[in-house]
Each structure stands twice: as C-alpha cells, then as structure tokens.
Amino acid sequence: MKKFVHLVIASIVGSALTLGVFMAAGFGKKESTPFLHTTSAIPAHNVVYSVKEDGEIVPLEFTEVSKQVMDAVVHVKTSRKISAREQGYYNPQFPSDPFGDDFFRFFFDQPVKPRDNKQKEEPLIQSGSGSGVIINPNGYIITNNHVIADADEIEVSLPDNEVYKAKVIGSDPSTDLAVLQIKKDGLTSLPIGNSDEVEVGEWVLAVGNPFDLNSTVTAGIVSAKGRNINIINDKSAIEAFIQTDAAINPGNSGGALVNLKGELIGINTAIASPTGTYAGYGFAIPANIVSKVIADIMKYGMVQRAYLGVIIREIDGTFADKNNLKRYEGAYVDSLMEKGAAAAAGIKEGDVITAIAGKPVRKTSDVLEQVGRHHPGDQISVTVDRKGKELTFTVVLADQKGERKITSREDQGVLDLLGASFETIDENMARKLGIEGGVRVKELRNGIIKNQTAMKEGFIITGVNNKKVTSVDQLKKELETIKGGAMFSGIYENYPGEIYYAFGIE
C-alpha cells in the first residue's frame, strides 16, 4: 500500500512539472511571468549548488579536494600467525569484530583462513586490511590501533602501488590510534585541521580502502559531534566521535575524514550497522584528539593520559527529575576517585559539570574529549552546577596513579610497561588448578601486553622464557633480566591446556 501511495505522489508531481514545461514552451498563456521564467531555468539533472562569496551560484564538486588528499591515504595490510597451541583458545572474531553482532562495529576488514580438523596442527594466517593517513613527509602514518594490534607483519601500500614494511612507533588503545613509520621520504601528507571548528551539516569526504578497493572517496555531511558509542574496549576509552553519513565500509578503518579545505578533521574508525557494511552512519576520531596522541607518542614514546578522577553519567529528563536537577544537559558526577584531581579541587558528588577549560559540556563525551586533550600536571578550569549555584574550580589533572607530572618510559618499571596489574595466586588456588603457583593478570590497560598480544584478564602466568614463576616479585625479577623479548606460559582457570604469549620488550 505504501509503495502505491509513493507512486501516486510521484505521478502527480511529474504531471505538474510536465504542465510547467508545456506552459513555458508557449502552450499556455503567452505572457511571460517571473514564475515561469524561474521554472524554465531549473536544470533537468540533479546537481547540488553552492554560493560563492561574490554571490555566484556554482555546482558543488569535490574533484580538487579529492586530488589533494588521495595521495596521502594509504592501504595498510597486516598478517599474524596463530600457532597450533593458540588455536584452541583463539577466537577468530577478535579483534575484527570484538562485539559479535552488536549494532556498532569497527570496520576493519580482517578475514581469517578457515580451519578444519586437518589444519589443527598448522599455523593459521590471520590477515587484515585497513587504511592509514600520512601525517609527515618522512614516512609517519596514523591509523587505528585495532588495525595493527597483534600483527606480526605490517605492510603499507602507497597510492602508486609501492609497498613498504611498516614499524609501529606507538599505539594507544584508549583512543584506538597508532603511529606507523615506513622508510620513505618526500611523501604527500595531510594538514591536520581544528575539529572544534567542524559544524554539523558541513560537507566532508571519507577516503580509504573499503573492501580492498584502493583510494576510494565518498562524500557526505557531518551528522553529529561528540558521539559516545561504547565501542572502544578499554577501561580508559575516550569516545567523542564525529558522526558522518559519508559511505564507509570494512577496510576504511584508519582512513581520513577531511573537510573541503583538504584538512584532516578525523580518523574513520567505526560504523553503525546491523550487517557490518554501510548503513548510513560512520564515526571518526576528532582531529584534536588525534594530534594530541601523535604529539605524545613522538615526544614521549607513550601517550600521557590525564584523568579528572570522577565517575560521570549522562543526564536525561527522567534522571534530572529523579535527582531534582534543574538542568537536562551536562555530566553528572556520580562518584569521585579517592585522592583524585577533582576531589582535591573541591568538586563533590552530585555536581553537574557544565564546562571544562571554557568549553561547554552537554554530555559525558564532552568531558572525555576535553580532559583527553591535556596532560598530567595541566591546570584546567571546571565549572559545575551545585544545586542551582554555578561554581568554577581550578583542577590539576593527574595520571592513573595520581601523579601530577609527565612520565617517561625510563620512569616506568617493567611491570608498568607491560600495562597490567598482577597478583600472586594463593596455595589453595594453585592446588585446585594443579600447578605449583602462578601470577594472575588482574587488569589490562594500555601497554605492551595489550598492544602485542591477545591475552585476556584472568590469565595465570606460570613461566617466563621457560623459567617457573610463582610470585609477582619473581615475575618482576625475571623480566628485568630480559632483553629483546619474552614469552609467557600459563593457563586460564576454566580453559584446558597451556597457552603461550610472546612479545617484545625495548
């Protein structure tokens, strides 16, 4: 029935246009009218027009900006060997689709060679395909962390089909970004724009390699800003995505979102889709977060993450009414971290954060984005609504450990570099598992283990490079003597067999 109605409406509109054409051709009244003159001037084909500064109406086209940006977007290909030992524990949906059938998906094209019983003894080759953006003529490239995570080998293919091996300079799972380098100078790079100036409704282009189709450009508009879609699987995740309706698909991960000036305003990262392919919405990491992560990795060798020390939640009409709030925007302070930056400055539970560093806060993603641009030790102003009274505090941001200063790799102990917290299992647990002892991985955060392996929290380490480990102190002692690389052997509590994880230590 709906289809019939649509056809009828189209038919009526078509008749009206036909009548207009006949009248304009002299079959109606002979007198010329402004209406008929205007109607006859409308082109017969579909073209979007724009108005120049001098008032001239011109077709909106993207050829020049496409020429500017295409040479700066590369094809990133990865491969990883899944050993016979790992195959029993390996989940082929990770990390290409870490959220199963969830609505939001990373769009990293990562097919895995199918296996059967005959292949059980053979290593599997996990291959992946994504995109990257050249940010420096000397071979530095930005991409998504999930594109290169766990890869044994990374290749970068330039638009002219030259292929280079790539090295990972640094990565940050919290923002899903990574910096690569290839040995090639004189490359075309993209200037990084100011994502704060991006406006909803603004025309943008998405450039990448969907479905292994090199150098693909699509156009759309910015649909929204500051989207938090809970797709980055990290406890310190920063999500404040630019949403766009430019068509992006598997393989676009790590590609460029650019404005019509040819400036990089975002790194394409995820799509909203029930099928895993384009369904109308894509999400890009804002350029201002990208530039901060790049600068930290290049200068410090690691991202300097600042924390406000609050647990915040969104405010809607129901929540506001239930908690007697007089505003429906902002970030509600649900709880405070003990000795955290916010608590030390005087912020309290029940406050509603309305501005950070002079930037308005309408939702929790605004807090994550603004704090994520700063370093430990930075002072920022935080404005809150406390029971209808506006208060502004000066907050000195801290890192995850509460330190209010920049941390270099040299300042970190070996366990900190691994990016995990550990605990020695007790004798009862060891007996239950049939082992002499071990060290449980309690929590994983940004670090070597998360960047280089598929290890999960709960893994119990029983050996390092074939030496038995039964305590955290022993683990630390063994790691401090290692140069180059290490291999953990161990078990999961509810999974049979011994598992191995290998990684490099600089």
pLDDT in tens, 115-168: 455 445 566 888 899 999 999 999 999 999 999 987 889 999 999 999 999 999
Q: Is the Cβ–Cβ distance between 419 and 450 less than 8 Å?
A: yes
Q: Which of 247, 232, 256 is nearest to 281 (CA)?
A: 247
Active-site residue, from 97, 109, 172, 176: 176
Sort 432 into a burial class: Cβ within 10 Å, 0-12 / 13-18 / 19+.
Answer: exposed
Between 131 and 484, residue with greater pLDDT: 131
* CATH architecture of the domain with residue range 412-505: Roll (2.30)
Give the ranges where 124-236 is alpha helix by DSSP (H).
145-148
Q: Which of 238, 230, 224, 242 is nearest to 296 (CA)?
A: 238
Distances (CA, A) of 106 to 102, 250, 296, 388: 10, 8, 24, 41
How many Cβ atoms are within 10 Å of 191's Cβ, its own excluded? 14
Q: Which residue has the tokens 């693909």?
A: 216
Give the ranges where 159-316 is alpha helix by DSSP (H).
287-300
Residue 365: enclosing H or E segment and its boundaries?
helix 364-372
Would 62-303 and 412-505 be classified into the same CATH topology? no
Strand partners, 257: 206, 266
pLDDT of residue 83: 61
pLDDT of residue 85: 52
Instruction: List the single range of 269-283, 299-313, 320-334 with lowest mean pLDDT.
Output: 269-283
Q: What is the rounded distance in angstroms from the CA atom of residue 338 to the CA atom of residue 344?
A: 9
What are the counts of helices (DSSP H) followed by strands (DSSP E) for the chain? 13, 28
Active-site residue, from 195, 223, 253, 273: 253
- What mean pLDDT do residues 80-98 have? 50
Q: What is the rounded distance in angstroms from the CA atom of residue 245 to the CA atom of residue 247?
A: 6
* Per-residue exposure over 121-148, b if at least 16 CB sit within 10 Å of its own CB, e if not: eeebebbbbbbbbbbbeebbbbbbbbbb
- Respond yes or no: is residue 176 known to be catalytic: yes
Q: Which of 129, 156, 73, 132 is nearest to 251 (CA)?
A: 129
- What mean pLDDT do residues 351-364 have? 95
Task: Name the band, by pLDDT with cuts 50, 70 and 90, for residue 291.
Answer: very high
Instruction: List the single range of 79-88, 221-230, 246-255, 395-404 with lowest mean pLDDT.
Output: 79-88
Between 133 and 250, residue with greater pLDDT: 133
Average pLDDT, the chain: 82
Between 75 and 234, residue with greater pLDDT: 75
Task: Name the band, by pLDDT with cuts 50, 70 and 90, for residue 106.
Answer: low
pLDDT in tens, 190-206: 999 999 999 999 999 99
Q: Is the Cβ–Cβ distance between 121 and 84 less than 8 Å?
A: yes
Active-site residue, from 146, 365, 375, 489: 146
Q: What is the rounded distance in angstroms from the CA atom of residue 360 to the CA atom of residue 468?
A: 54
Q: Is the Cβ–Cβ distance between 95 and 254 less than 8 Å?
A: no
Q: Is the Cβ–Cβ distance between 200 and 189 less than 8 Å?
A: no
pLDDT of residue 506: 63
State what percent of residues in the chain have pLDDT above 70.
Answer: 80
Residue 468: enclosing H or E segment and its boundaries?
strand 467-468
Domain ranges of the chain: 2-61, 62-303, 310-396, 412-505
Query: In this structure, which CATH number among 3.40.50.300, 2.40.10.120, 1.25.40.80, 2.60.40.420 belongs to the domain 62-303?
Result: 2.40.10.120
Query: Interior CA angle at 455 toward 426 and 123, to 5°?
Result: 125
- Respond yes or no: is residue 37 known to be catalytic: no
- What mean pLDDT do residues 366-382 have? 95
Q: What is the rounded distance in angstroms from the CA atom of residue 480 to the CA atom of residue 474?
A: 10
- What mean pLDDT do residues 76-80 have? 92
Sign of CA dihedral 331, 336, 340, 342: positive
Please say if the pLDDT value at position 250 is more than 70: yes
Per CATH, the homologous superfamily of domain 310-396 is PDZ domain (2.30.42.10)
Please say if the pLDDT value at position 88 is more than 60: no
Peptide bond connecting 95 to the previous residue in cis, omega within 30 degrees of 0: yes
Sort 102 into a burial class: Cβ within 10 Å, 0-12 / 13-18 / 19+.
Answer: middle
By three-state DSSP, how is residue 122 classified? coil
Please say if the pLDDT value at position 348 is more than 90: yes
Instruction: Annotate 379-423 with three-state secondary structure.
Output: EEEEEEEECCEEEEEEEECECCCCCCCCCCHHHCCHHHHHCEEEE
Please say if the pLDDT value at position 24 is more than 50: no
- Respond yes or no: is residue 374 known to be catalytic: no
Sort 303 into a burial class: Cβ within 10 Å, 0-12 / 13-18 / 19+.
Answer: buried
